[in-house]
């Protein structure tokens, strides 16, 4: 059984954004990076990747892991606008070259179109998975089931239908499983997975599970050390050595993520939710929440009808 099977249930997927786009002016990305994983399906036209301009056929896919350099040519031209390592500055800048279109439109009259999804995948809800295994960008062949998932995520995202966030979340889980199955089937890609066996360390798993199940309780290094049977002085270093993250930063992030979920779905007020996820000071919670999400917790709570889980 491939080692990836030991981790598949511990992968947490978080959708960021998606869109259908049409190339209106040929453009080149030449070594830019993205803080999200990027998955693209070429719907029509020309799409070239890598320094050698390898074409990606229509209906097939290409995956750019978080943090990996992106070499892409959109469209076909004798001379492209080269955006270099900076890439697109913002949505307005990108719109000069790539127009966001509706998936409900008729694509038959469009010459260059693709679908794009940005998302995060965290192992144990702590470590960015694809950067962890250092897997390079790679193509995926045309696949009707995979194409269905990508198209319907983008369709759900552009429409304000009841339960769209839940549907997108479910589809994203299927996409990541599909990708992991493909990676496990390809010897050259599977080699990147085989080196992470050390992450099966039971002490790390116990820490992560305990944190997720006890966000409302004392999660000091002392209490965590008792769970992992690691000394209080060493437990933070132990966690960081395996995950690359500060233990208390990870705990606070998990509390804030859980708070966002509760604010969207539960009738409790902000102070009650803050306490439910382990923040004793509601004012401090509100400051940290806004710093992480760029939104006021009270506003999210009052507008929860728009956040159907």
The predicted-structure confidence for 4-40, as pLDDT tens digits, reads as follows 787 888 899 999 999 999 999 999 999 998 989 999 9
pTM above 0.85, yes or no: no
Q: Are 241 and 207 in contact (CB under 8 A)?
A: no
pLDDT at 136 over 70: yes
Decide which of 177 and 266 is more confident: 177
Report, as an integer, the average pLDDT of 277-295: 92
At 50 the three-state DSSP class reads coil
pLDDT at 308 over 70: no
Q: How confident is the model at residue 2 (pLDDT cuts 50, 70, 90)?
A: low
Supply angle C-alpha 303, 304, 309, rounded to 5: 150
Strands ordered across the beta sheet of 81-82:
54-55, 47-49, 70-74, 27-32, 81-82
**Can you give the residue ranges of every domain in the chain?**
3-194, 201-306
pLDDT at 81 over 90: yes
Supply angle C-alpha 59, 3, 174, rounded to 5: 35
Decide which of 96 and 295 is more confident: 96
The whole-number pLDDT of residue 209 equals 85
The whole-number pLDDT of residue 277 equals 95
Q: What is the rounded CA–CA span in Å between residue 129 and residue 131?
A: 6
**Strand ranges (E), the chain:** 11-23, 27-32, 37-44, 47-49, 54-55, 61-64, 70-74, 81-82, 98-101, 113-123, 127-128, 138-140
Q: Which two tokens stand for residue 135?
A: 């897997």
Poorest-pLDDT segment among 97-106, 257-266, 271-280: 257-266
Q: What is the rounded CA–CA span in Å between residue 191 and residue 184?
A: 9
Q: What is the rounded CA–CA span in Å between residue 127 and residue 125?
A: 6
DSSP secondary structure, 178-219, as one string: HHHHHHHH-HHHHHHHHTTGGGG-HHHHHHHHHHHH-TTS--
pLDDT at 57 over 50: yes
Q: How confident is the model at residue 131 (pLDDT cuts 50, 70, 90)?
A: confident
Residue by residue, what is the 3-state secondary structure of 277-303? CCCCCHHHHHHHHHHHHCCCHHHHHHC
Contacts of 15 (CB under 8 A, 6+ apart): 117, 119, 153, 168, 169, 172
Fold classification of 3-194 (topology level): Jelly Rolls (2.60.120)
Q: What is the rounded CA–CA span in Å between residue 61 and residue 47?
A: 10
Q: What percent of the chain has a predicted confidence (pLDDT) above 90?
A: 68
| Whole-number average pLDDT of the chain | 90
Q: How confident is the model at residue 85 (pLDDT cuts 50, 70, 90)?
A: confident
Report, as an integer, the average pLDDT of 229-242: 92
The whole-number pLDDT of residue 202 equals 84
Q: How far is CA 187 from CA 180, 183, 194, 282, in A?
A: 13, 8, 10, 51
Selection from 102, 16, 113 nearest residue 56 by Cα: 113
CATH of 201-306, one of 3.90.226.30, 3.30.565.10, 1.20.1250.20, 1.10.10.60: 1.10.10.60
CB atoms within 10 A of CB 148: 12
84 φ, ψ (degrees, to nearest 5): 60, -155
């Amino acid at each position: 059984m491939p080692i990836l099977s030991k981790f598949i249930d511990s992968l947490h997927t978080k959708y960021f954004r998606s869109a259908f786009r049409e190339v209106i002016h040929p453009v080149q990305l030449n070594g830019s990076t993205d803080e999200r994983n990027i998955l693209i399906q070429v719907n029509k036209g020309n799409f070239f990747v890598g320094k050698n301009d390898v074409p990606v056929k229509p209906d097939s896919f290409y995956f750019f892991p978080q943090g990996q350099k992106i070499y892409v040519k959109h469209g076909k031209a004798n001379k492209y606008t080269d955006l270099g390592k900076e890439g697109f500055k913002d949505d307005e800048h990108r719109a000069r070259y790539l127009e966001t279109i509706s998936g409900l439109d008729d694509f038959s009259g469009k010459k260059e179109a693709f679908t794009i999804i940005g998302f995060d995948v965290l192992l144990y809800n702590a470590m960015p998975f694809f950067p962890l295994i250092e897997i390079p960008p790679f193509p995926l062949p045309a696949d009707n089931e995979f194409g269905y998932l990508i198209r319907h995520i983008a369709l759900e995202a552009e429409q304000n239908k009841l339960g769209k966030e839940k549907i997108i979340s479910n589809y994203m889980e299927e996409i990541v499983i599909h990708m992991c199955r493909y990676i496990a089937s390809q010897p050259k890609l599977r080699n990147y997975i085989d080196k992470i066996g050390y992450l099966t360390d039971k002490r790390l798993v116990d820490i992560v599970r305990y944190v997720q199940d006890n966000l409302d309780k004392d999660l000091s290094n002392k209490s965590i050390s008792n769970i992992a049977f690691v000394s209080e002085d060493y437990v933070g270093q132990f966690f960081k050595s395996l995950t690359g993250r500060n233990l208390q930063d990870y705990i606070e992030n998990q509390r804030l993520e859980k708070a966002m979920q509760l604010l969207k779905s539960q009738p409790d007020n902000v102070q009650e939710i803050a306490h439910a996820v382990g923040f004793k000071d509601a004012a401090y919670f509100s400051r940290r929440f806004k710093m992480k999400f760029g939104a006021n917790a009270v506003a999210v709570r009052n507008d929860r009808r728009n956040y159907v889980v």
